[in-house]
Structure 1
Amino acid sequence: MPVAQAPTGRPLGTAGSVSAHSGTNGAATTRPSPVAVDLGSGQLRIRLGGHEPLTTLVTDRSARRYPLVRRGRIVDGSGCATALTQLLRHHQVRVPSRPLVVVCRPLLATAADQEATRRVLDAVFAPTRLLFIDTVRAAAIGAGAGAGTLLVADVGAQITEVAVLRDSQVIAGRRANLGTGDLAQKATVGMLADRLARLVRELTQGAGAAPAAATALARGIVLVGDGATRPDLRERLAATTGAPVHRAAGPRTAALTGASLAAAAAARHPAGD
């Protein structure tokens, strides 16, 4: 299973963000409504403004149950767009015209990955602006993890990410194609915890961000995602790393909450994008 290193610092609204549309026809004086999206390997999530999150599984409803997202990458763009549209219709949610959309992206997302995401969200929302935010950063914001230097671990259904954040910016990270969805098949909790601990060690012992990672580890690991709901995983990770493990509040939706907060901030301060 590949273990990869993430590029450093891609803050929302700067070099790491993509604008799908350039606002016209009064966009300078009209603030687009904010929408947050998290296209996870286990569930697709949407949050419009301050409304409750809308969630659907990433498999379609056919007998063959094709995955829409695999290991953090969209594998069925049209199916993904259809699933999001059906989710909005099922909950009878009216999508605002040309909204501002902030979408979570995994560490190491490529330009092709982002283009696939852009096409899906353009089909569903026709946004006036589309901004990307690293999932680990969004999760830290959504969990209210605080300022300073943090070590955030996001254990999802099919990928696990660990990142060092300084003042809410990702400065280094690691990613592995293993998650809680593998526990019923080829992995055990011990295997997942050991892989996660290895990612942490690579950050604390590698070049560049090692001092910051060590400082963050002393404060403890902020655990988000589905893995944070498993006490056995938290206990094994704490025992393996020798560091306290803090379960984030609302760990499954922390990234969506953070993306929603970022979307609201971007809508309030368009000049800062």
Structure 2
Amino acid sequence: MGTAHKALRGPAGAVRGLALDIGSSRTRVWAPGAGVLADVPSGPVRRGRVTDATPHQDLLRRVAAAAFGDSPRDTVVMLCHPVLADSEQREAARRMITGLGPTRVVSVDSARATAAYAGPAGGGPLLVVDLGAELTEATLLVDGMVQDARLAEVGLADLAERGGAPASLVHTAADMVMDLWRSDTTGAVRGALRRGVLVTGGGALRLDLTSRLALRLGVRLRLANDPATSTVRGAGLLLASALRHPGADRR
């Protein structure tokens, strides 16, 4: 942690920050100048909901102490959440982070964070499918903003419990994409499908899932670079923007 601490200090007077992705399987922390500071098993998290904040706070206190030193003054935490997380889920996570003492907590959904790191340059429509440990999400982004989304409380952990058969998870993901298409009145989903569906999460590393999904949808898939950490890395890019503009959105 000592090396990371030095890397985070930056020029005198610079605002410091962390990007944080608390997944159902892994908790990942990213910092400017240091990259991924932590990639560890998550504490009690079920279907994207933190059920016990204590293990996470213990981890984050250690990371924050290394990153921010003795004082968290002028610090920002960019906090990722599932696309369809409700206000209670988001507020519970924010309270946990606020207890660490940062000046600001800025929330961002996982799809926008992933697109910031792994999406194509320029605007236009983009479909992001996140095959996570306990959640599967399909999100339509247009010019970087969420237009529509679907979420299913099923993921890779369920495959392990059912003997590893991928068909049910592929079926779920494909159905969510098709439901977005049926609900779309603007043609954005069709345009996004032509560009290729961006697939992220741990499931993006499984050929048995991605090949079946591509076949079922009949479109090209684009796998995110380093899909397991693409969300927190994208949140890090958004954090850099927040650090440059201290008066930015404080959602």
Alignment of 1:50-129 (within 5 A): 50-53=33-36, 54-59=38-43, 68-86=44-62, 88=63, 93-96=66-69, 97-98=72-73, 99-124=75-100, 126-129=101-104
Report runs of 4+ in structure 1 exceeding 4 Å deviation: none
Map of 1:160-239 to 2, 5 A cutoff? 160-186=136-162, 188-208=165-185, 211-239=187-215
How far residue 272 of structure 1 moved from its aligned partner, in angstroms, is: 3.7
Aligned to 1:151: 127
Higher helix share: 2
C-alpha contact 1:45 1:55 (8 A) present in aligned 2 = yes
Q: For the Cα contact (< 8 Å) 2:119–2:198, is it kept in 1?
A: no
Q: Secondary structure at 2:83's aligned position in 1?
A: coil
- Partners of 2:201 and 2:121 lie apart in 1 by 18
| Structure 1 residues 35-69: Cα deviation after superposition (integer angstroms, max 9, x where no partner) | 1000100111111212131111014xxxxxxxx11
Give the equivalent residue in structure 1 for 2:112: 137
Aligned length: 232
Letter of the 2:29 counterpart: I
Partner residue of 1:35?
18
Tell me the TM-score normalised to structure 1 length. Answer: 0.80
Return the structure number with greater relative CO, CA threshold 8 A, min gap 6: 1
Cα distance per residue 1:93-141 (max 9 Å; x no partner): 33352311111010221221112111211223x1111111010110111
Q: Which residue of 2 aligns with 1:5?
A: none
TM-score by length of 2: 0.86
Unaligned runs of 5+ in 2: 1-12
Please list every run of 5 or more consecutive structure 1 residues that lacks an aligned counterpart in the other structure. 1-29, 60-67
The percent of aligned pairs where both chains have the same amino acid is 35
Q: Which amino acid aligns with 1:206?
A: S
In the TM superposition, what is the alpha-carbon distance from 1:85 to its structure 2 partner? 3.1
For 2:51 and 2:167, locate their aligned partners in 1 and report how far apart those are by CA, in whole Å.
Answer: 29
